Structure 1
Amino acid sequence: MLRRLYDWTMSLAGRPSAEIWLAVIAFVESSIFLVPADVLFLPMALAKPHRVWRYALVATVASVLGGIAGWAIGYYAFETVAKPILEFYGKLDAFDKLRSGVTYETIVLLLVTSGLAHLPPIKVVTILSGVANVNLGLFVISAIIARGARFFFLAWLLRRYGEPIRHFIEKRLGQIAAVVAAVLILLYIAFHMLAR
C-alpha cells in the first residue's frame, strides 16, 4: 500500500496542477498523511528550477497550516479523530510513550526535530502539541522555522547542484537530518544536565 501511495504522489509532479497538489500533500502530511511532501517537491523543483523558491514557500506555508490542523485535532478531537488516525498508522503506542513523559520544552524540541527530519513523524508531534495544549503561537513559530528550514534547504541544494544531488537527497538526506536531530536532542539533554 505504501509503495502505491508513494508512486501516486510521484505521478502528481508532472501534472499542471502539481503546485496545488504540493500544497495539499504538505498540508495533510502534517496532520494525517504518511508520505512526506519531499516526494513531490523534489521532481517539481528539478523540472522547473526557476520556481524552486516558490515551491519551498508553498510547501512551508501548507505544512504549517497542516500542522495547525494537527494541533486542532489533538486539542479538540483527540478521542474521536486523532486516536483512530494514530491507530491506523500504528503510531498510537509511540504517541502514548511521548505523551506520558512530555514537557513543554520537549514538545518544542520534537517540533524542530520532526520538522527537519521526521523524527518522530510530524503528524504525531502536531497532534501531541494540541493534546498537551502547547501555546499555538509558539507552535506556529516553531513549525515555520523547522519546516521552512527543511524546504528552503532542499530548494538551495536543488538550485545549486541540480539533478546530481537528487539521488543523494533521496538516499541520504533522511540520515543527515536524523543526525542533526540527534545532535539537537543531545545538546538539549546536556543543557538540562548542566543546568541542574
Structure 2
Amino acid sequence: MMKKWLDKLWLLAESKGARRTLATVSFTESIFFPLPPDLLLIPMALANRKQAFRLAAICLFSSLLGGILGYYVGYFFMDLLGMPIIRFYGFDDKYLVIKEWYDTYDAWAVAAAGLTPIPYKLCTLTAGAFRIDLLVFIVASTLSRGVRFFTIAGLIYLFGDRARYFLEKRFDLILLGTLILGIAGFVAIAFLE
C-alpha cells in the first residue's frame, strides 16, 4: 500500500500542476488544512533536485500568504471562522494558554509554531485574535518557516539520489515519523496547562 502511495506522490511531483498544488497546500495548511506541505515538497524536490530551493520558496511564500490570511481571520472573524477551526482540532480549551504564550514569548511563540510540529494554523489564527504585532508575526513566520522549508531543500539538494533511494526504501518509516511529529504537535498543545 505504501508503495502505491509513494508512486502517486512521484507522479504528482512530476505533473504539470504540481507547483500549483504545492502552493495551495502550503497556503491552506496555514489556515485549516491538516497536512503539512513537506509531504509534497520532499518528493517534488527529489524529482527535480535543481528546483529544490525554488520549491521551498513556493512553500514559504504561499505559507506566509496563508498565514497572513489566517492572522486576519483571527483578527476580524475569530468567533465566526477561527474558533470553529480551533474546535475542529480540539484546541478550544487551550485558547487562553496560547494567549499566555504570546504574552510571555511574543515572536518566539510564533517561531516555534512555524518551525515545529505545533500546528501553524493554530498560531496564525490566535496571533490575529490576540493582536500580535503583524510585522513581528510576519518576520517570525518568515524566519521559522524559511528555516524549515529551506533545510529540507538543502538536504535534498546535497543528498538527492541517496535521499530518493532512502525515501523509496524507507517510505513507511518516514511517513510514520512525519505522522508522529504531526501528532506530537497536537499532543503538545493538548497537554498545555
1:44-123 correspondence to structure 2 within 5 Å: 44-99=44-99, 101-118=100-117, 120-123=118-121
Instruction: Tell me how large the CA RMSD over aligned residues is.
Output: 2.6
Q: SS at 1:134's partner residue?
A: coil
Residues 82-117 of structure 1 show CA distances to partners (whole Å, capped at 9, x for unaligned) of: 111111222222334323x23345241121111111
Query: 1:160: Cα distance to partner?
Result: 0.6
How many residue pairs align between the two structures? 169
Structure 1: which 5+ runs fail to align? 1-5, 179-196
Query: 1:137: Cα distance to partner?
Result: 1.0
Alignment partner, residue 40 of structure 2: 40
CA distance in 1: counterparts of 2:76 and 2:105, whole angstroms: 21
CA distance in 2: counterparts of 1:81 and 1:24, whole angstroms: 19
2:46/2:163 contact within 8 Å kept: no
2:67/2:121 contact within 8 Å kept: yes
Residues 134-171 of structure 1 show CA distances to partners (whole Å, capped at 9, x for unaligned) of: 11111111111111111111000001112433648936
Identity, % of aligned positions: 30
TM-score by length of 1: 0.76
Structure with more contact order per residue of length (Cα contacts < 8 Å, sep ≥ 6): 2
Structure 2: which 5+ runs fail to align? 185-193
Which of the residues 122, 131, 134 maps onto 1:133? 131
1:19/1:55 contact within 8 Å kept: yes
